Amino acid sequence: MPDKYVDYAFADGAARITLVAADSGNPIAPDPVEQLHAAVLRAKADGARVIVLAAEGRFFSVGGDLGIFSDADDPGALLLDLAESVHRVITELVRGDAVVVSVVQGTAAGGGFPLAAAADVVLAADTAKFSLAYAKVGLSPDCGGSLLVHTLGLHRVLRLALLGDLLTAQEAYDAGLVARVVPAADLAATADDLVATLLAGSPEAFAAAKRLVRDAADATTESALRREAQSISALAGSPNGREGIAAFLEKRAPRFS
């Protein structure tokens, strides 16, 4: 595993946070999440008006690193700590004054999906895909997956959570999650143009609009995140949770009881 998972750069009011562990699929694991949280806090300290969350490689993020869960003596405790660490990142992105733009170049799976969706504006390459994928390994959504109901609607999120369906970039656009779908070759330039537009606006007005709209959608985000952390922790320590993780790592169908 690499030592560096996240790159940070700040200039002219915009903080650019990039997931750079491309060879391992930009996983959600303790060290990457610690670095991501530090980058988000640094953006806040720098007074960023816009935060751009992007990634390198084929995946925006593959989600949780199931290997570390399988190796843990107490996977439930590990999942609880990790979920709460990710949720601190999600809370900072959602509650902060900066406008957050996620730039999704590849597949966002598991916790990588709601991490991308925690942004205020989501840009996607036409090759991007979105998948919750938890049911396949005997776990429940975390990282704000349950909050997707406010964007995608009840039954679409249930379909994604229970059946493991994929959303294409175009489907995510049609559902209202993605703001723009562009050819992969144009994604970086489109992101730069959008950042320039946001930086030209009133930061106070944008912060107020973000706060009002998000509070109208859900004023209890933190409570939902806590329920998610408790649920995935309990499932990870259960026999079916252990079986689901083992089956995924062994590339076989799970045998749930």
Could you tell me if residue 150 is left (phi over 0), alpha (psi between -120 and 50 degrees) or otherwise beta? Answer: alpha
User: Does any domain span residue 76?
Assistant: yes
User: Does any domain span residue 168?
Assistant: yes
User: Does any domain span residue 127?
Assistant: yes
String of DSSP letters for the chain:
--S--EEEEEETTEEEEEE--GGGTSEESHHHHHHHHHHHHHHHHTT-SEEEEEE-SSEEE-EE-HHHHHH-S-HHHHHHHHHHHHHHHHHHHHHSSSEEEEEE-SEEETTHHHHHHTSSEEEEETT-EEE---GGGT----TTGGGGHHHH-HHHHHHHHHH--EEEHHHHHHTTS-SEEE-GGGHHHHHHHHHHHHHTS-HHHHHHHHHHHHHHH-TTHHHHHHHHHHHHHHHHTSHHHHHHHHHHHTTS-----
User: Does any domain span residue 257?
Assistant: no
Strand partners, 104: 124
Backbone angles phi, psi at 55, to 5 degrees: -150, 160
Number of domains in the chain: 1
The CATH number given to whatever domain includes residue 39 is: 3.90.226.10
Asked if 123 and 60 touch (Cβ cutoff 8 Å), the reply is: no
Walk along the chain (257 residues) and give the pLDDT tens digit of each residue: 568 999 999 999 999 999 999 999 999 999 999 999 999 999 999 999 999 999 999 999 999 888 887 788 888 888 889 999 999 999 999 999 999 999 999 999 999 999 999 999 999 999 999 999 888 888 889 889 999 999 999 999 999 999 989 999 999 999 999 999 999 999 999 999 999 999 999 999 999 999 999 999 887 788 888 898 899 888 888 889 888 888 888 889 989 98
User: Does any domain span residue 189?
Assistant: no
Strand partners, 64: 28
How big is the chain by its Cα radius of gyration, in Å?
17
Task: Give the domain extent around 162.
Answer: 6-184+202-249
pTM passes above 0.75: yes
Task: Please enumerate in sequence order all residues whose Cβ is within 8 A of that of 34, keeping only pairs 6 or more positions apart, or say none.
Answer: 85
User: Does any domain span residue 238?
Assistant: yes
